[in-house]
Chains A and B, each alone.
Chain A
Amino acid sequence: MNKNQKSESFFTRTIQLLLQNKLAVLGGAMVLTVFVLSIFAPLIAPYDPSAIDIKNILMGPTLSHPLGTDELGRDVFSRMLWGGRISLEVGFIAVGIATLIGIMLGSLAGYYGGWIDSIVMRSVDVMLSIPTIFLVLTVIAILEPSIINIMIVIGLTSWMEPARLVRAEFISLREREFVLAAHAMGGTDTRIMMKHILPNGLSPIFVSATMGIGGAILIESALSFLGLGVQPPTPSWGSLLSSGKDNIEIAWWLSAFPGLAILITVLGYNLLGEGLRDALDPRQRE
C-alpha cells in the first residue's frame, strides 16, 4: 500500500509539472491527436485508402477530397490516416527494440563494470563513429526493405544513447544504501538489477524513448525517400512523400501534406520529451 502510494505521487507530480509547461502540453496534444487519428483510421477515413478512381486523378484539395487525390485517384487524406498507423508502428517498435537492447547492455555495463563495461562502451564508441545511414542502407540492402526489417534495423542502430543513460544510472545507484541492503538480504544480481536499480533509474529512459520515436519516424521517412523504406503501395508517410515527389510540379499536395504530418508528429514527440526532461530533472528548474 505504502509503496503504491509513493509511486503514484511521483507519477501525479510529474503529470502536474508537465501540465504547467505550455510547450509540453502543446506537444502532448499533437501526439495525442495523431495517435487517435491513426488508431481510428478505419472509422475516420472517408475512402478506402487503396480504392483507385481513374476519373479523379491528381485532383487538388476539394471538399470531397480534403487533401486531394494522387496519380491513381486515391484519396490522400485516407492514405495519410492509414500511413500514420505504419509510421507510428515503426517509431514505437524500433524504439522498443533500441530501448530493450540499451537497458540490457547498459545495466550489465553499469552493474558489473570491469571488462564487461569496457566491451559495451567500446562497442558504443564504434557504433557512434560510423554514420548510422551507412549501416541502415547496407543492412536494408541485404535484408530487403520490409516494414519489419526497417523496425529491426532502426532499433539495432539506435541503442547507444539508452545504453549510455542506463549505465550512468546504474553506476550512480549501485553503491546506494538500498542496493547494499538488497545485497545483504541475499538478492541475486538479476533481481537487484531489475527490481531495485532499474525502476529507480528509468526517468532518463522515458525522455530518450519519447524523443527516439520522433527520430525513428524521421529515419523511416528518409529511408523511404531513398527508395529503401516501406514499399508502395503500402502507405507510410515516408512512402507517400517519396512517391509524391515525382509529381511535385503538377501536384504539390502529394508531397506537402505527408511531410507536414511527419513534422507535426515528430515535433510533438520532441516537445513532449523535452517537457518530460524538465519535469523529471529538478536541476534545470528555476
Chain B
Amino acid sequence: MGILNNAFPSNAVTDAVDGAIGWGRKSSIWPMTFGIACCAIEMMAVYAATFDLDRYGAGVPRATPRQSDLIIVPGTVNAKMAVRVKRLYDQMAEPRYVIAMGACVCGGGPYVKWGYNTVKGVHKIIPVDIFVPGCPPRPEALMDGILKLREKVSKDDVFRRRQHANGEMTAKYEAV
C-alpha cells in the first residue's frame, strides 16, 4: 500500500499539489497527550485558552499514539522513562514528528554532569525535529517551536520524490 507515496518526480504539478497538501497537514497537527515533568505544565498552558495553540490547529491532544502526528517530550527523561518514550514513538503512525521541550530533553539540562539516571537528550533514543530550550521554556517558546514545525511539515514530500540539498533523495519509510 501507499504505492503513490513519493512516487512522482519533482515538477511544477507535484510541487503545487504537495504545497496544498502541506498547507492542510501543517494546519492539522495532532499532538499526543504526553507529559513527563515540569515542562508539561507549560505545555498545558499552551493548550489552554490564554495561549491557545488551537489557532494553529494543534490544540487538541489525542489520547493515543495511533491518532497523533506529534509527540512533545516535555520534561526530564530518565532511564526508566526512556523505554516508554521510545515505545510510544514507535507506536505512532508515520509521518511523525518530535519536539524536544526543555533543557533536560535537549541535552541533560541541570542533570548533565551528575544525573546518573537522566538521558542526556531525547535525541539519543528518538529522532528529534525541533529543539525548544529553556528551563522550563515559556509558552511562547513552545509556540515558536510549533511554528517551526509547521514550516517543516509544509515542506514535506507526499507525492513528489526529490533530491535534497545534501544529495539524498526523499526518504521512504522502512520497517525498523
**Are A and B interaction partners?**
no
Q: Which residues of A contact B (CB under 8 A)?
A: none
